[in-house]
Amino acid sequence: MKKNMYARIASFLFLMLVGLSSLAFYTNQIKAWVGLDQSGNGQPLVEGVNDGDDVVNNALKSKMTYVQVNTFIRDALGQNVKNDNGRLVMKLNNGYLTYYYERTSDEKINQQVSYYTDLYQYCKGKNIPMIYFQAPNKVDPDNPQLPDGYTDNCNDAIDRYLKGLKSNGVPYVDLRTALKNDFDNYYECFFITDHHWLPETAFWASGKILVNLGNAYNIEYNKIVTNENQYSKRVYNEWFLGSLGKKAGKNWSGVDN
């Protein structure tokens, strides 16, 4: 009960702060937001109106403070999902951030399978070797860590897509399986605050691709380039706030190395 009361008070104060700040901001920025033309006749430009939200969002002072207050309120309410312009940013149970995807229809999957199969058959007819590599999604298919009430629609779509390719005789390599075989912790291969792999994971993936292409098509390559010991690595601690972290606020997930 107290938790809900504190959350309501914080929400009220936050809305008051946003309202007062917005009033002052719009007073100074109204011409840029509405997009008045330069003739001085006061007619709004359509382009200016359409871009109004972007102008306000990009010029708003202390924008990240508002984002973090919003996230604080969501934490107080026990919410693990934030709507960012129609895309859902989700905080997994282990603290990692990811996008949440709605289920892809079978019709859409079958359409994509058909497109890729046609491309494969075309290349095959031209005697061009071709193989599909499936990149891992940030959510571990065997340990999704999703909040209650949500399902792993992304890996489900990948599974159905690869099943379709297999049925059509299209060769592929599922790097999700390789990732789980080579690393003890699936999630530690990704940034916490971004949807991208770590640089080390990308390096690993490039090696896997080279090995598979070499074995499948007898392609020769310099194996030295896949040796991690041939490179130096420098780590910047708490230096990188990824795109998901910028949408949710660093107090939701911290900052990546």
Residue pLDDT, tens place only, 52-101: 555 555 556 666 666 666 666 666 666 677 776 777 899 999 999 999 99
Label the pairing between strands 87-91 and 97-100. Answer: antiparallel
Q: Are 82 and 247 in contact (CB under 8 A)?
A: yes
**Res 250: pLDDT:** 84
**Res 119: pLDDT:** 98
| Class of residue 167 by CB neighbours under 10 A (exposed 0-12, middle 13-18, buried 19+) | exposed
Which of the residues in the chain have pLDDT under 50?
A: 20, 23-50
**Res 45: pLDDT:** 46
Torsion, Cα of 69, 70, 75, 80 (10° steps)? -150
**Res 1: pLDDT:** 56
**Res 50: pLDDT:** 46
d(C-alpha 13, C-alpha 21), whole Å: 12
d(C-alpha 125, C-alpha 254), whole Å: 51
d(C-alpha 9, C-alpha 145), whole Å: 31
Cα separations in angstroms, 252 against 18, 91, 163: 20, 8, 37
**Res 72: pLDDT:** 65
Label the pairing between strands 97-100 and 132-134. Answer: unpaired
Q: DSSP 3-state assignment of 224?
A: helix
Question: Which helix (H) or strand (E) is 123 found in, with range?
Answer: helix 106-125
With vertex at residue 176, the alpha carbon angle to CA 110 and CA 162, rounded to the nearest 5 degrees, is 20
d(C-alpha 57, C-alpha 71), whole Å: 17
Question: Which helix (H) or strand (E) is 100 found in, with range?
Answer: strand 97-100
Q: Are 132 and 173 in contact (CB under 8 A)?
A: yes
Q: Are 210 and 180 in contact (CB under 8 A)?
A: no
Q: Name the one residue in this structure whose structure tokens are 């792993």.
A: 152
Estimate to the nearest angstrom the gap between the alpha carbon of 65 and the chain centroid: 22
**Res 247: pLDDT:** 86
